[in-house]
Every structure is written in structure tokens, then in C-alpha cells.
A and B are shown apart, each in its own frame.
Chain A
Amino acid sequence: MRPLTEAETRSVFEKLGKYIGENIQLLVDRPDGTYCFRLHRDRVYYLSEKLLKVAASVPRENLVSLGTCFGKFTKTQKFRLSVTALDFLAPYAKYKVWVKPGSEQSFLYGNHVLKSGLGRITENTAQYQGVVVYSMADVPLGFGVAAKSTQECRKVDPMAIVVFHQADVGEYVRSEDTLT
């Protein structure tokens, strides 16, 4: 376990910034305690200082996970956000997409969101913008990338993809073994 280096912190913040913009400073600088990012076996964890002190006493090979896993660094040092970060992305998300009840299940199985399943979308969403996907009852389901800007969303045919799937809460069941 170690703190992130400068380059690693930068790539993590860039990735997070694509979904929550400048609200990252609300994650870094919290009024209710000191929270920090730590790297353990290529995975980035977000945890409070209190928890960090406790986790520091666990040997490295016995430590499985700590705090919340935000994502992991791939072999080529690219940061990949995972669904376990959804709890922190959802409240601060800048661009949101609401999905109709009929295609909620499709999204939770890992499919992309089609125009026919699109309920609402935030105004001014640019193409390839990071978005958080909600159900119509404002329950966060996952996150993805907007395949079309809001303007284009209005004009495309119903079978076109509007949101590329990146992570959803169904992964808690599907990839139960590999999630940390």
C-alpha cells in the first residue's frame, strides 16, 4: 500500500473529472474528515485517515481491500474506473441520463442504452461526455459515455445507441469474484 505518485494522481483526477468535473475537490477536501487515496496492488482505494491507520497494520500479502475501490491501473498505467466508485460519482455527477423502466434491465445486464430506452438527458451534454445513468426513480444504476450529444439524441432513430455502457450495478452480481 502506498500513496499515489504525482502522475498517478493526475490520471485518476482526470478520469474522475470527466464524470464529476470540479466537484473532485469535494472528495479531496471533506468537512467531515480527512480522506485520501491509496494504491494497493494496482487498485486505487478511497478511505478515511482513521481507516488508513488501521489498515496500515495489516501485512501487505494479507490485505485484500480497504475503504472504497475507485478503480485500477492497467498494465499500461491507464486508470479504469469501476462500479464501486458509483456511490461517490452519483451525488456529484454533472451530466445525467435517466433510463426508462423497460430498458433498465438491459442496461443492468451490460448492454448499451438505446434511444428507445432513453428517458431524460441533461441539457448540454457533449458527445463522448462521461455520464451517470439513473433509473426514473433517481436510483443510480451505473455510468457510461454519451454516444451522442443532447441535440443529436433528439434526431436519431430509436435503435441508435445513445449511451455506451461502462459500468453498472449488475456487475456486483456478475463479477462478484473479481470485484475487490
Chain B
Amino acid sequence: MAALRVEEVLAAAEEQEAEKRRSVTVEKELELEFDLGNLLALDRNPPPAAGLRGAGPRREALLRALARDNVQLLVSRLWELPAERAGGAGGPLVAQLPEPTFRLPREKPPPRPRPPTRWEQFARLKGIRRRKKTSLVWDEQAKEWRRRWGYRRAGGDPARAWLAEVPEGADPEEDQFARLRREKRERVARNELNRLRNLARAHRAGSAVPAAPLHPTGHQSREELGRVARVARVSTASLGRFQPRLPKEPAEPPSRSGGKKRRFEPLLGNLAAERSRQLEMLRDMGSKKPVLDITRAVNKQLRQEEAEAAAAKGKKKQTQRGKRGRRQQRVGRSGKKSGARRQPQQRPPSSSMSGGKRK
């Protein structure tokens, strides 16, 4: 009995080992195609025809076995790649993947072409075609080939033109140089405006331009910059809560409506809550006032000294005048001064009223 059981155990162990070895080697009719750069394995073998029809656990098992075999082949190919230990001797073994060869399809749809500009529409309508221009032009005066525009252009430097003829029908008093400069400025401005308009039209039509959200050449509008800055601020893992602010940036978070409408508390909202909030605000305001007010302390000191001086003077006069003098003094006190001194203090002089200079 014991021997049989031992044989059984040995046989089971041997079968397990064979199983393991079998699992590493996979037999396929056609070789798989590998793209190790993308970790891709393409299996062109025809699937077992009978098993894949109809749902059920059998189909599941078949698919699983197929997947396992293919993954085994892929992994055995990966193990053949040159590998090294990353981060010194104790680090993980890292394989160096080759360049991917398989072209993956587009993730997003391709960009739509931008709409034609106003000139392009007009040119198409009229049938005007572009004429190739030469880059150099013969300058008769300088007797050499010069650029069409730019540094040392043909036709001389416009800044050093010393003569500007007054055209026929123009105002003789007008400054021609100023006119030329102004017209150039206007031309430049008009061109810039049209360029921006075309850009805006393309942007609005939703073409490829939004891929670069901010115009690269620095001619961005203030709203665009603000919008992009806001989006950039919020594009962090904590949604912009811990982003440092620039010195002059406002501290409160920008409103969701883009700063167009101020939102207030409802008119007849929770009045009790409003009252408690106001009381708390009063408490905060009261607590921050300084406990010691220098001017009040100084005044108090002065008052004490004055009182002492007055008392001393009074005593001296009393001793000099005698009983009659004392009686006269008591009667003849000025009403104002006694009133001010006799004024009882209604509340203890709380230093919460700081002597502010501005009201």
C-alpha cells in the first residue's frame, strides 16, 4: 500500500513537471509576428472553428487558453532581449525594447482644414493665381542686384529719403513725411487687423488652430491670455488650489461666470445666520484692538499730575487764607471746569476706541 502511494505521488510530481515544461513551449502552425517596441504579438493562425461559436464557459476556456499561449510566446521573446540591471547591482532587470515598427492608428480625428481668408475667397472667385516673384531685383541706381524688401533693399532706404514730392491736388501745407509715416502705420495696422480677423474666423470655425491654444507670435488678446492662464492654473492634480500667485494677482478664486456677474446673498435669506455672522465679525473686530493705548495712558498720567498740582495749590491757598478763604473758594469755582471733572464716567474708559485720526 505504501509503495503504491509513493508511486502515485512520484507520478503526480512528474506529471506536474512535464506540465510546467509543456506550458513554456507552445506549438503553433504559423509563427507569430512580433513588434516588441509596442509589446505586440500578432497571431495569424486560424482559430479553432468549432469552439468559438456560441457563448458559454467552453468558449471562455478556449479563449483563455489561446491568450495564455500567445502571451507565453511574447514573454519568451521579451526574455531574449538584451537586458541590464537598472540602478546598480540590486536594481530590477530592465529590457531594452527595439523601436516600434507597427503604425498605430490615430487617436483623435485629423484636423479640419482652416477656412479660406477673405482674400483667398476673392482670389478664387476672380481666378487670380499666385505669381512667383524673384527674390532679387535689379537696382538701376546702385547697379546691382538687391533684395525686393528688407535690409539694403532696391529703391533705397525709405528712412533716409530726403525728398517727398507733394502730389497733385494735395494740401501744400501738409507734411509729406508725416503723411508717408502715418500711411505706413495705417497699412501695418490694417494688415495686422485682417490677419487677426482671419485667425479668429478660423478659430471660431473650430479648425486645427485650437490645437495651439495660444498664438505663438505674441499677438495674443488679453482675454485669450487670461483664459489660458486660468486653464493652466487649474490643470494641476489638486485643481489649482495650491498654486502660488503672482504678486498682484487677486487672492479670491475667479468666479465661474468669468467675472461677469457679482453674486450676493439672497435678500430674505437666513436672518438668524446673518445676525450671528455679524456678531462674530464684531467680536473679531473688537478683539484685535490694542489693549494699551499710548495716548490715553499719557493723558491719564497728565490728568493725575494736574489733579495733584491743583490739590497742592488748593491746600497751600487754604492754609494762607484761613476759614473765610476756604468758604470763598468752594463757592467761586467755575462751573465748566467742575462740570467736566464732576462728570461721572458712565462706562469704564475702554481702550477699544482707539484715537484714530481719520473718520
Contacts and interface: CB of A to CB of B under 8 A. Distances in A.
A24 B69 CA distance: 83
A21 B356 CA distance: 13
A128 interface: yes
Contacts, number: 115
B255 interface: no
B264 A3 contact: yes
Contacts of A153: 340
Interface residues of B, number: 43
Contacts of B55: none
A178 interface: no
B25 to A, nearest CB: 76
Nearest to A39: B264
Contacts of B359: 15, 18, 128, 130, 145, 166
Contacts of B293: 126
Residue among B306, B336, B354 with max Cβ neighbours from chain A (10 Å)? B336
A150 B337 CA distance: 11
Contacts of A119: 336, 339
A56 interface: yes
A13 B353 contact: no
B279 A120 contact: no
B281 interface: yes
Contact of B275 (A21, A36, A120, A129): A36
A123 interface: yes
Interface residues of A, number: 46
Contacts of A129: 353, 355
B295 interface: yes
A87 interface: no
Interface string A146-169: 000111011000000000001000
A123 B345 contact: yes
B355 A150 contact: no
A137 to B, nearest CB: 15
Interface in A1-46: 1-3, 5-6, 9-10, 13-15, 17-18, 21-22, 24-25, 28-29, 34, 36, 38
Contacts of A15: 359
B320 interface: no
Given A120-B339, A124-B299, A166-B359, A22 B352 contact: yes
Interface string B332-359: 0000110111010111011011111111
B267 A56 contact: yes
A122 B340 CA distance: 7
B302 interface: yes
Nearest to B359: A145
A123 B300 CA distance: 10
B274 interface: yes
A2 B268 contact: no
A94 B357 contact: no
A108 interface: no
Interface in B257-278: 264-269, 271-272, 274-275, 278
A126 B343 CA distance: 16
11 contacts: A5-B264, A15-B359, A18-B356, A21-B352, A25-B282, A36-B274, A94-B347, A124-B349, A128-B358, A151-B302, A153-B340
